A and B are shown apart, each in its own frame.
Chain A
Amino acid sequence: MSSTELKSKAAQIRMDLLRMIHGAKTGHTGGSLSNTDILTALYYKIMTIDPARPKWQERDRFIASKGHSVESLWCILADLGFFPREELATFSQFGTRLIGHPNNKVPGIEMNTGALGHGLAISVGMALAAKKDARASRVFCLMGDGEQAEGSVWEAAMAGAHYKLDNLVGIIDRNRLQISGTTEEVMGLEPLEEKWAAFGWHVVSIDGNDIDALVEAFEAAPALAGKPTLVMANTVKGKGVSFAENVPHWHHHVPNDEELAKALAELEAVIGSYTQEGQVQ
């Protein structure tokens, strides 16, 4: 996909997830909007995957350690054909497999995540297995910034560097907001990049809502042989919906009819701007 196609795709995924959350009357809206560009870059440009063979051993792995913002992931997996698009309507409904966290009953989901601080250790195990089997598979692990307060993140960070896992890419959705307020109010994280560097990771800091920057950072990893890469993706919570951006209340606020219409119109306009340029059909 070209850069404009990716940006257009991200807007479409945002529309899908807003409709899905609105229909289900529940969801983590803010965090899903902030990580949509990261997931779009990974799933439509970077990762080697095959929706027809979700368990293909040579595939790249994605672990959503911040499992609570799974909505963008459900919409992307459906869009790619891992499961029927109509199933999105079952999100969070009785008996669904599209629950509020990644669930490996759904093709394309590797592991059940959502308890914070688990994903990176799992990813270390996967990256270690790929090394031992001499597979080219890479492992991408998306963490939240609030999640950095979990001690288990740092146990895994140590192990990733110790085992020189340059096939491992950690990503932090650095949107600076968690349920109770800003990350720095709740539990100070800075200097976060220096902490990861001190743990032996190669750290890249980018605008995490800039798809071009994300693609460049992921394509460049590993920049240094023998070092895992940490992509500090500086994002805006609620990104793409003007009135939700940086508003803590949108962490799990569900748009009402009026808000949905307004948000969809904004995103339509984004897609329209790319189409007018004639770069997307």
Chain B
Amino acid sequence: MANKIPNRQVICETLVTLAQEDKDIMVLASDSRGSAAMAPFANAYPEQFVEVGIAEQNIVGISAGLAHSGKKPFVTSPACFLSMRSIEQIKVDVAYSGTNVKLVGISGGVSYGALGMSHHSVQDIAVARAIPGLAIILPADRHETKRMTEALVQHEGGVYVRIGRNPVEDSYESDDYEFVIGKAVTMREGTDITIIATGETVRTALDAQAELAEAGVSARVLNMHTIKPLDEEAIVRAAQETGGIITVEEHSIHGGLGAAVAEVVVQQHPVPMRILGIPDEPAIAGKTSEVFEHYGISSSNIKKIALGMLGR
């Protein structure tokens, strides 16, 4: 697609625009202004940019101190380190202390490809979910990333955002839709089964929906951009109205979107469910698309699973 740009670039562009009016917006980087695509922000607003060096515990603590004094810090750091190296600072300095820090994990999931498990971030949602008061958001594409970034500036409180490294195909036709933190977006209506996806796998879910439509199956697609607080109402409605759920995510099958959805389904309206994600192993090396294909995070596999669940 002609307009394909990485979501990290969209966050930067949106913050550059918003920071013109809002001098409290600050961006912090851990030697990551390049990988976070934040160099344009650093150049445009040097007074609102803080370089911390390769020190993820420090970047979260400093951000909490800045937020405590009324600043709106956006921490941009590789998801693998930001989510786990500094998890205690996130728990205590951000969540427990109630500081307004936005943690933006970049190059999340398996988007660091062949760099291996040390650089993959497929446990971050599980870890972040266990922390009370921390919101978790995975935007689907550039349009959603823009709307999300605008919403984050308005939102008071700690948020963990996870985005990938590479350009993503659009899931939305434009940014002309309502983005509400904690509210799932019904991307496609459907009655036979529901596919719930988050982040960049929303595109995969939409492709599966189209393939299923060709096979005569009406699949609903929910974009669960906010994993916490979770839109339980949308999940229960999907269970009631479609009778089966498949979740798709760029995360370990343990503790992520699938687990979160299952907790709701099993307690409120049990229906058959399948969880698609990275299995409990160091992920295989390769491009995101190759890794996804290997583990069955693909439209064709979603279609196959859906047909199986429907007995067709």
Q: Which residues of A contact B (CB under 8 A)?
A: 57, 104, 110-115, 117-118, 120-130, 132-133, 151-152, 155-156, 158-159, 162
Known pairs A121-B61, A125-B63; list 10 more (Cβ under 8 Å): A57-B70, A111-B68, A115-B91, A118-B88, A125-B62, A126-B69, A129-B70, A133-B69, A155-B53, A162-B53
Most chain A beta carbons < 10 A, residue from B60, B66, B70, B91: B66
Which A residue sits closest to B52, measured CB to CB? A159
Q: Are A152 and B57 in contact (CB under 8 A)?
A: yes
* Residues from chain B with Cβ under 8 Å of A111 in the complex: 64-65, 68, 93, 97, 99
Q: Are A128 and B66 in contact (CB under 8 A)?
A: yes
Instruction: Provide the bound-state CA to CA distance between A121 and B57, in Å.
Output: 8
Instruction: Provide the bound-state CA to CA distance between A104 and B97, in Å.
Output: 7
Q: Which residues of B contact A (CB under 8 A)?
A: 47, 50, 52-53, 55, 57-58, 60-71, 73, 88-89, 91-93, 96-99
Q: Are A115 and B65 in contact (CB under 8 A)?
A: no
The 8 closest A-B pairs by CB, nearest first: A125-B65, A121-B61, A129-B69, A155-B58, A125-B62, A155-B55, A126-B65, A122-B65
* Residues from chain A with Cβ under 8 Å of B55 in the complex: 155, 158-159
Q: Are A121 and B89 in contact (CB under 8 A)?
A: yes
Instruction: Provide the bound-state CA to CA distance between A115 and B63, in Å.
Output: 17
Most chain B beta carbons < 10 A, residue from A113, A121, A128, A156: A121
Given A111-B68, A126-B68, A159-B53, are A118 and B62 also a contact pair (CB < 8 Å)? no
* Residues from chain A with Cβ under 8 Å of B53 in the complex: 155, 158-159, 162
- Min CB gap B309→A, angstroms: 45
* Residues from chain B with Cβ under 8 Å of A133 in the complex: 69-70
Q: Are A125 and B66 in contact (CB under 8 A)?
A: yes
Q: Are B98 and A122 in contact (CB under 8 A)?
A: no
* Residues from chain A with Cβ under 8 Å of B52 in the complex: 159
Which B residue sits closest to A122, measured CB to CB? B65
Given A115-B88, A118-B89, A122-B93, are A128 and B58 also a contact pair (CB < 8 Å)? no
* Residues from chain B with Cβ under 8 Å of A110 in the complex: 68
- Min CB gap B23→A, angstroms: 9
Q: Are A124 and B62 in contact (CB under 8 A)?
A: yes
